[in-house]
Amino acid sequence: MTDKIGQLLVMGLKGPELSASEADFIVANNIGGVILFERNVGAPDQLHALCRELHSLRHKTRDKIPLFIGIDMEGGRVARLKAPFTEWPPMAQLGKLDSTSLAFKFAMSMGLELKSFGINLNFAPCIDVLTNPNNKVIGDRALGTDAEEVAKMASALVRGFIKAEILPCAKHFPGHGNTSVDSHEDLPVDEDTDLNRLMEVEAQPFKKAFRARIDMAMTGHLKFPKIDPEWPVTLSSIFLKDILRQELRYRGLIISDDLDMKALSKNWSVEEIPVRAFQAGCEMLLYCNEPRHPEIAFEAVRKALKDGQLKAQQIDEAYRKVVDVKRAKLAQPDPLPLAEAAKIVGHEDHKALSQAIAEGRVPDNLSPG
């Protein structure tokens, strides 16, 4: 069972090189994936070597299946890869152009660059509907303010990433657009939104993303007292089991946002959070910046299984889903040879597309709508 727990964890790395202790931890515990940040990214040859080394670890693990190598590449201010990778405008700029063919091409082009380096999971698109103009944490990360328009574009983005053989991840369920507090710093509480409003507005882009066959959705660390007065979404079975699974009929993987964000860590202990997240319905847990916390979470979950706080069946089912997605979607995980990858990264067609979006125009060869 401990090997199965590890497959449900995605962890950050300390620096641009994989340390011996990190490699040992990943292999010994059958860890499911890693997430890359700017601290892990240098020159293309460094990133290529890091991804190649990470993928080589699968041959040493119990399951012999690929790691998720994830990254936040939305465009705009949330983009971990800089030049020579194509630098993309923010989602708001794309949303203004209201072209699904452009959104599809945007995601596919970005995805091809990620895929060439062995990155297989993008924690994007951000499909929050920006209904609060004072919301700085989302702001220009959102495609727009109209739920139907955001939903239409979200579907196209999902399909574009899938075409490039990248796993997209819709975030931040059920919608971070009506908040004003940054969940990195504290727990946002939306006192106004009830279930009817949530289903009519915030849930619409997620419904479309699910219909586009997305394999992963990320929970938002948000509290909606009119829907669940006790728990924030990531720790709420009302949101994850009743609404996401039953009402919206979502069948893909549910991954938490970073469990070290202060929205949660100010209110619950490092040991409590992973156990409660699994109880609520999360299937994968994300740890970005605290090197010791994946190990603490691993032990807390193991203890909760032993004590009966968590059911082995739940971990079994989550594990099977993760493995099934990897076997179906990550058939060729290794990066291309560096010389080949270098021809894809920053391709002139991608740069021209990015430039067009930045200038507020749809290229002539792409239709609007």
Read off the amino acid at residue 233: V
Joined tokens for residue 358:
């930045």
Tell me the CA end-to-end span of the chain in Å, nearest whole number. Answer: 49
Half-sphere exposure of 167 (CA within 13 A, CB side): 27
Q: What is the DSSP letter of 238?
A: I
CA-to-CA distance for 258 and 140, rounded, in angstroms?
21
pLDDT recorded at residue 180: 79
- Residue showing tokens 């089912």: 317
Catalytic residue selected from 228, 257, 258, 260: 257
The answer to whether 119 touches 170, Cβ cutoff 8 Å, is no
Angle between helices 293-307 and 272-280 (to 10 degrees): 60
pLDDT recorded at residue 136: 84
CA-to-CA distance for 59 and 29, rounded, in angstroms?
13
pLDDT recorded at residue 368: 61
Catalytic residue selected from 24, 45, 184, 334: 184
pTM of the model: 0.97
- Domains of the chain, each with CATH number or no CATH: 11-353 (3.20.20.300)
**Catalytic residue status for 172:** no
Q: Among 132, 219, 136, which residue's Cα sits nearest to residue 170?
A: 219
- Bridge partners (DSSP) listed for residue 121: 70, 167
**Catalytic residue status for 257:** yes
The answer to whether 116 touches 66, Cβ cutoff 8 Å, is no
The answer to whether 63 touches 30, Cβ cutoff 8 Å, is yes
CB atoms within 10 A of CB 190: 24
Backbone angles phi, psi at 352, to 5 degrees: -65, -40
Residues of the chain with pLDDT under 50: none
Q: What is the pLDDT of residues 97-146, one digit of tens each?
A: 999 999 999 999 999 999 999 999 999 999 999 999 888 889 999 999 99
pLDDT recorded at residue 134: 87
pLDDT recorded at residue 369: 59
Joined tokens for residue 40:
């892990």
